[in-house]
Amino acid sequence: MGIGIFAVWPLAKKFGKRNVTMFGFVLYALGSLTCWLFPHDMIIVLVGQFIKNIGGLPCAYVFMALFADCLDHLESTRL
């Protein structure tokens, strides 16, 4: 996961944090589906786990930035 930050931040700057995180969740779901469909084939399960880990990268790295953006938005909308 340490190397993944070098891929996530440029993508987040180009496409937006929200879009990259949503695409990561789609990858996470596809990896989970792969593991669920073929639970007895170790190679396919490992591929599914790899896809899940790639999908989890944006959530892991962008979450705190999205949380900070939400807090900024809440502060700016207070009366």
CB 6 within 8 A of CB 56: no
Is the torsion defined by CA of 62, 24, 42, 37 positive or negative? positive
CB 54 within 8 A of CB 30: no
pLDDT in tens, 25-54: 999 999 999 999 999 999 999 999 999 999
Q: What is the pTM of this model?
A: 0.78
Question: Region 18-24: what's the mean pLDDT?
Answer: 93
List CB contacts of 10: < 8 A, sequence separation 6 or more.
none
